[in-house]
């Protein structure tokens, strides 16, 4: 039996290496930025090991806050990646914690970390990938990675029960070293007041429009193609309706062409990447639409509720996202666009279901408040709870 040493002993600072693809404006990455801004940086040194040399959206701020962006390349070439990661651990360590956010690939990351003698090794699941179909070779890869996670992780975290099932398997609840840790957000911007007329004018949207909003990366999972089919139905019935699609991604050109094909160019707005998401939610949108095919735990859905906005989401995503329940309505992605359109239009003339201040208070009292979640995370970094013994 190998008892892991206390990383605090004889050290002034706990060094944590987060491993992920790139520090762009995704859900896990945005949460990590909330962590970096909030955590006591005199006590914790957070570095970010990424799988690219391309700059990420958050790189500059990470460096300004005293952390490092460290590329580890060749993730598709195991032996090269192994040597690169070992070199990083030696050159930038010693690390007390490796916190891996790369789903199944975390098995390989944590195996390297164990060989490097890093005592706390965390696999964190941020997505629900359980419904995806895989080839035989992919299934073999997943089996190997799951075995390595089970063998080398000292702690497993997941943002929701579905995310836990996806990475740790159906028996995850029987493993005491696996915990649910939803990602948190900074709620301070949702206490601000924003001038709706000013925000909409900046975006080119009429102040009296009925604004249906969506924020997310343009990819298959976010289901923007279906979202446009829904909005097409709405636009026929409500001349004041407009659609605000915030974000970037590989499917953006396709979605823009589809907008043109449907003759909706004057009603659909693409502001691109935005740093002021709370301001856009509170100042521009009337209702938030989330038709994703699957999610671990959608942070933007949490933000929409903190903003006091009505949220219409797909039934297929994790239910833990329903925090302010009076604001949430579920519709299956198996339903026709007309059903979604009807549900959205019904929200237009509804009275405010709950004051925004009350909705924000409800979110504040959950682990989705970064100020609450950070304390639990610090405990994991210090090995105070949830860390298991590894049997040789």
C-alpha 376/C-alpha 33 separation (Å) is 16
pLDDT at 98: 98
pLDDT at 390: 56
**Residue keyed to tokens 């649910």:** 180
C-alpha 105/C-alpha 360 separation (Å) is 36
pLDDT at 8: 46
pLDDT at 6: 46
| Residue 196 CB neighbours (<10 A) | 16
Helix, strand, coil % over all residues of the chain, rounded to 5: 45, 15, 40
Strand pairing report for 268-272 and 241-246: parallel
11-67: pLDDT as tens digits: 579 999 999 999 999 889 999 999 999 999 999 999 999 999 999 999 999 999 999
Q: Tell how far CA 31 is from the center of its chain.
A: 7
Phi-psi region of 247 (alpha: psi -120 to 50; beta: other; left: phi over 0): left
C-alpha 63/C-alpha 317 separation (Å) is 34
CA distances from 277 to 25, 194, 293 (A): 11, 12, 22
How is residue 308 annotated by DSSP?
T
What average pLDDT does the structure give for the chain? 93
Give me the mean pLDDT over the 227-244 stretch.
Answer: 97
Which regions of the chain does DSSP assign to beta strands (E)? 14-20, 44-50, 69-71, 97-100, 120-125, 155-158, 178-180, 210-215, 241-246, 268-272, 287-290, 310-314, 328-331
Q: What percent of the chain has pLDDT over 90?
A: 87
pLDDT(1) > 80: no
**Residue keyed to tokens 């995310």:** 163
pLDDT(9) > 60: no
351-381: pLDDT as tens digits: 777 999 999 999 999 999 999 999 999 999 9
Q: Are 176 and 388 in contact (CB under 8 A)?
A: yes
pLDDT at 7: 45
Question: Which residues are bridge partners to 329 per DSSP?
Answer: 312
CA distances from 367 to 156, 159, 214, 228 (A): 17, 10, 24, 33
pLDDT at 135: 87
Class of domain 14-184+368-381: alpha beta
Give me the mean pLDDT over the 138-156 stretch.
Answer: 95
C-alpha 149/C-alpha 102 separation (Å) is 12
Q: Please tell me if the domain spanning 14-184+368-381 has the same topology as the one spanning 188-364.
A: yes
Position 129 confidence tier, pLDDT thresholds 50, 70, 90: confident
Q: Are 177 and 155 in contact (CB under 8 A)?
A: yes
Q: Where are the domains of the chain?
A: 14-184+368-381, 188-364
Cβ-count burial of 6 within 10 angstroms (0-12 exposed, 13-18 middle, 19+ buried)? middle
For residue 153, how many C-alpha atoms fall within 13 Å in the half-sphere facing its CB?
A: 31
Produce one character per residue of 270-308: b if its CB has 16 or more CB atoms within 10 Å, e if not: bbeeeeebbbbbbbbbbbbbbbbbbbbbbbbbbbbbbbb
* CATH H superfamily, domain 188-364: Glycogen Phosphorylase B; (3.40.50.2000)
């Amino acid at each position: 039996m190998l008892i892991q040493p206390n990383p605090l002993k004889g050290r002034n600072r706990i060094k944590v290496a987060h491993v992920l693809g790139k520090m762009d404006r995704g859900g896990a990455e945005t949460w990590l930025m909330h962590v970096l801004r909030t955590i006591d940086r005199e006590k914790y040194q957070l570095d970010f090991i990424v799988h690219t040399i391309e700059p990420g959206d958050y790189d500059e701020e990470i460096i300004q806050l005293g952390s490092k962006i460290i590329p580890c390349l060749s993730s598709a070439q195991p032996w090269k990646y192994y040597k690169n990661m070992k070199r990083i651990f030696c050159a930038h360590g010693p690390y007390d914690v490796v916190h891996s956010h790369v789903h199944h690939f975390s098995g390989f990351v944590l195996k390297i970390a164990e060989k490097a003698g890093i005592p706390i090794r965390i696999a964190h699941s941020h997505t629900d990938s359980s419904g995806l179909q895989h080839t035989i070779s992919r299934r073999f890869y997943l089996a190997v990675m799951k075995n390595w996670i089970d063998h080398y992780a000292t702690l497993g975290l997941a943002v929701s029960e579905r995310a836990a099932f996806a990475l740790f398997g159906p028996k995850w609840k029987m493993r005491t070293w696996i915990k649910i840790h939803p990602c948190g957000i900074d709620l301070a911007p949702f206490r601000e007041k924003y001038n709706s007329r000013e925000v909409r004018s900046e975006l080119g949207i009429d102040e009296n429009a009925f604004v249906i909003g969506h924020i997310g990366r343009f990819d298959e999972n976010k289901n923007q193609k279906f979202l446009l089919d829904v909005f097409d139905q709405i636009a026929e019935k409500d001349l004041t309706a407009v659609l605000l699609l915030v974000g970037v991604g590989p499917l953006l050109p396709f979605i823009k062409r589809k907008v043109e094909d449907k003759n909706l160019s004057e009603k659909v707005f693409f502001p691109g990447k935005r740093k002021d998401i709370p301001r856009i939610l509170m100042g521009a949108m009337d209702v938030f639409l989330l038709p994703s095919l699957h999610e671990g735990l959608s942070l933007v859905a949490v933000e929409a509720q903190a903003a006091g906005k009505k949220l219409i989401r797909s039934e297929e995503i994790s239910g833990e996202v329903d925090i302010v329940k009076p604001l949430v309505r579920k519709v299956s992605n198996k339903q026709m666009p007309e059903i979604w359109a009807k549900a959205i239009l019904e929200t237009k003339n509804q009275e405010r279901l709950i004051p925004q201040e009350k909705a924000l208070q409800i979110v504040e009292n959950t682990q989705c408040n970064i100020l609450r979640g950070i304390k639990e995370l610090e405990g994991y970094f210090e090995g105070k709870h949830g860390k298991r013994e590894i049997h040789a």
